[in-house]
Amino acid sequence: MKIVRKLKTGADGTVGPRVLPWKVMVVDDEPDVLRLTALNLRGFVFGDRPIELLEARSAEEAKQLLSEHSDIAMALVDVVMESDDAGLKLVEYIRKDLKNLMIRLVIRTGQPGVAPERYVIDHFDIDDYKDKTELTAQRLYTTVRNALKGYHDLQTIELNRLGLSRILDVTPDLYNLHRNKLEDYFQGVLMQLIGICKLGKSGLISTIDGLVATVDGEDIHIRAGAGDFDTLNGGDTRRQEIVRLCSQAVITHEMPDRLRNGAMVLPLQVGGSVLGFVYLEVGDKLSASDRELIQIMANQCAAALDNFRLHHSLEESYDEAIDMLGHVAEFKDSATGTHIRRIQAYTHRLALAMGCTGGEALAYAKASRLHDVGKVGIPDSILRKPGPLTDDEFAHIQRHTLIGDAVLKRSPSLAMARLVARSHHEKWNGKGYPDGLTGDAIPFVARLVAVVDVFDALVSVRPYKGAWQKDAALAQIREGIGSHFDPAIAETFANLIEKGDMDDLIMAAIQVSGRSEPCPEDSAFVTASGH
């Protein structure tokens, strides 16, 4: 479905397209030349856009205009003004200091002997050279038109380059989409539409997030914008009205009457589902191929949005699976239920302190919730035994690492949680279980969980021990550096504890336990029970 409607300006309140003039700067110290230029260019139109003349009587005045107008399309520059080479120095300032390669520069001089044509063309980055005596009204028209056409073509090429670059940068990550990546992709597509189809600079891409119920019955987020809509977070009346009208159009399949002349609204549609829309303010002269290209790129946007939604649906399913299995472990061993939630928080903070990205830290934290999922296969008589375990019982409880591994291996999406479940009782010196791994052979996430798991077990009440005070538990962690724990991870964790960055979690453990005591004699129980 493509919705296109051209509206006429009239008493019904519709408005025509917003037309921006081409800005042409005239730099000359002769008032007569300025007046004659303005007279000869009166009524000038190129590409359905008029021109706006900006006059400067010196190179210094021109620099001021350049600082105030970043979108000057061309400049007619006299050579001799406040100095014999003021115009040439202005050209160098524009190209080298401002690094403005887009503006078209035309040198025109009444004293060609001062600045010979061949010398100026060979040594200065200009686009044309004219003797003032040859710039009749017709010649001036031709010169300005050619310069504006060159500027417009360069704009189109640059928009294509930037848009394509943005798309190519994001495309490799389309299947690992985060919100900012999706918006970068949409912004690139919008720039491509504007560039390839030679449109103006007003357009936006918006998504309707599934008919999420809000006060007005729909929840809309602008993902990309240009021109009037390049500030996405604003709330101006016109943008709000356009979003409302476009949403109405793609839902009802009827074009509202209050959009600008030449406006296009295209739904982002996959199958029978409308996921959002593209809105563009265009002129009346788009070719059939331009419109077809716009539709193709809108379809690509819809496919990207659909991939994004499917991706996050899978992420939500993964999170639900983690939560479900975590609840199973909590139900099996209510004494460690809140322990599991604290482990998640400890792991997240520790991973960030170790320099992990936010995404990595979150993934490790989620995986940590399932470190003891294998305890579903351990008899309650062992899990809840109020004293030290026998050798047989300890061998039996060690099996929870292998049981957790077996449970989680059925789902590839739980691969990281599987590493944690199997290896969080490995020790840096190789004396852990079940595989006797040493050093860096132990998965990083399992090394994180090993430290926080022991610490939280120490400061919590268990059937076989009382709760330790923070200082005693921290001393036990430090004692295990280089033997039980990865030195770098354990040191980082200890520093966080000393700075008080984990005090809220420690207090949570104490509140659940109901007491905190110095109980170093219980350390044997912690090891023997597998915490």
**CATH assignment of the domain containing 461:** 1.10.3210.10
User: In this structure, what token pair is assigned to residue 147?
Assistant: 């310069």
pLDDT at 242: 78
Percent of the chain with pLDDT over 90: 37
Residue 327 has pLDDT above 90, yes or no: no
| Residue listed under structure tokens 């690492």 | 401
What is the three-class DSSP state of 432? Answer: coil
What are the backbone dihedrals phi and psi of residue 17, each rounded to the nearest 5 degrees, phi first? -65, 145
Residue 364 has pLDDT above 80, yes or no: yes
Query: Regarding predicted confidence, which is higher, 146 or 298?
Result: 146
Taking phi over 0 as left and psi of -120 to 50 as alpha, with beta for the rest, 334 belongs to alpha
Q: What residue type is assigned to position 61 of the chain?
A: E
Residue 277 has pLDDT above 50, yes or no: yes
pLDDT at 172: 60
Q: Which of 375, 427, 465, 470 is catalytic?
A: 375
Average pLDDT over residues 488-495: 96
Same domain, 342 and 275: no
Query: Regarding predicted confidence, which is higher, 242 or 210?
Result: 242
Query: Regarding predicted confidence, which is higher, 244 or 43?
Result: 43
pLDDT at 142: 93
* Range list of β-strands (E), 127-187: 128-131
Same domain, 305 and 449: no
Query: Regarding predicted confidence, which is higher, 173 or 504?
Result: 504
Residue 11 has pLDDT above 60, yes or no: no
In a domain, 471, yes or no: yes
Residue at a domain's end among 280, 311, 342: 311
| Residue listed under structure tokens 């009782």 | 425
Residues 132, 134, 135, 136: what is their CA dihedral angle, to the nearest 10 degrees? 130
Same domain, 183 and 49: no
Determine the Cα–Cα distance for residues 100 and 108; give it in Å rounded to an integer. 20
Same domain, 340 and 462: yes
b/e for 465-483, b at 16 or more Cβ within 10 A? Answer: bbbbbbebbbebbeebbee
Determine the Cα–Cα distance for residues 349 and 362; give it in Å rounded to an integer. 9
Same domain, 201 and 295: yes
What is the three-class DSSP state of 225? Answer: strand
In a domain, 185, yes or no: yes
Contact 308, 177 (CB under 8 A): yes
Residue 479 has pLDDT above 90, yes or no: yes
Residue 123 has pLDDT above 80, yes or no: yes
Of 113-127, 192-206, 359-373, the poorest mean pLDDT is in 192-206
Q: What domain range is 241 assigned to?
A: 157-311
Percent of the chain with pLDDT over 70: 71
Average pLDDT over residues 273-278: 76
Same domain, 497 and 354: yes
Question: Angle at Cα 450 formed by Cα 342 and Cα 402, nearest 5°?
Answer: 105
Residue at a domain's end among 277, 311, 345: 311
pLDDT at 361: 95
In a domain, 141, yes or no: no
Contact 504, 455 (CB under 8 A): no
pLDDT averaged over every residue in the chain: 78
Taking phi over 0 as left and psi of -120 to 50 as alpha, with beta for the rest, 11 belongs to alpha
Determine the Cα–Cα distance for residues 265 and 249; give it in Å rounded to an integer. 8
Same domain, 267 and 344: no
- The answer to whether residue 470 is catalytic is no
Residue 339 has pLDDT above 60, yes or no: yes
In a domain, 148, yes or no: no
Residue at a domain's end among 135, 167, 184: 135
pLDDT at 67: 94
Same domain, 281 and 394: no
CATH number at residue 129: 3.40.50.2300
pLDDT at 52: 95
Average pLDDT over residues 265-287: 72
Sign of CA dihedral 183, 185, 188, 192: negative
Residue 65 has pLDDT above 70, yes or no: yes
CATH number at residue 233: 3.30.450
Query: Regarding predicted confidence, which is higher, 416 or 227?
Result: 416
Residue 17 has pLDDT above 60, yes or no: no
Same domain, 100 and 246: no
Q: Categorize the per-residue pLDDT at 231 as very low, low, confident or very high, splitting at 50, 70 and 90.
A: low
b/e for 116-155, b at 16 or more Cβ within 10 A? Answer: eeeebeeebebbbbbebeebeeeebeebbebbbebbbeeb
Contact 77, 37 (CB under 8 A): no
**C-alpha distances out from residue 19 to 40, 47, 243, 246, Å:** 22, 10, 21, 21
What is the three-class DSSP state of 462? Answer: strand
Same domain, 181 and 295: yes
Between strands 220-226 and 104-109, the pairing is unpaired
Q: How many domains does the chain have?
A: 3
Residue 19 has pLDDT above 60, yes or no: yes
Same domain, 37 and 163: no
pLDDT at 524: 40
Same domain, 349 and 298: no
